[in-house]
Amino acid sequence: MDQRKPMSQVHHAGSPQNSHKTFKFLAAATFGAALVALAGLTLTGTVLALVIATPVLVLFSPILVPAGIVVCLVTAGFLFSGTCGVAAISLLSWIYNYVSGKHPPGSDQLDYARSRIANKARDMKERAQEYGTYVQQKATEATQPQTQA
């Protein structure tokens, strides 16, 4: 190697780095051209299939459209029933874990809500008893003859 040349001139056109870059570019260009050719063939095949199938689709559309709707509805029904089944299994698993004392996620919130409802029911029972006593007293006062002194 020539010691007198600056470093910028040491690596030029004939270096291994440039040939590697050229090879990469040629490989990418070849691969890209092949993909573009395949895309063109696919487009041509699709257009030809559409041209051939259009009269058949027009003739059978009174049958195919309702059949397509039925297939979509049946598929939606199966998906919905499967989803409901998965939800039911998940719910039963959660209930089993809760009843067996394993504290599944959300059980603390359920316990808190249960205690709040029990407290509110107890308060309402006490209010009803107080109101019943109040009404009974008013009824007793109303039925007793008033004596004036």
Within-domain flag for 9: no
Per-residue pLDDT at 57: 86
**Could you tell me the residue range of the domain that residue 133 belongs to?**
106-139
Specify if 144 maps to a domain: no
- Which tens digits make up the pLDDT trace of 18-44? 888 898 899 999 999 999 999 999 999
- Same domain for 116 and 68: no
Q: State whether 126 and 77 are in the same domain.
A: no
Domain membership of residue 39 (yes or no) is: yes
Q: What is the pLDDT of residue 121?
A: 95
The number of distinct structural domains making up the chain is 2
Q: Which residues contact 106 (CB under 8 A, 6 or more apart)?
A: 94
Q: What is the pTM of this model?
A: 0.45
| % of the chain at pLDDT higher than 90 | 64
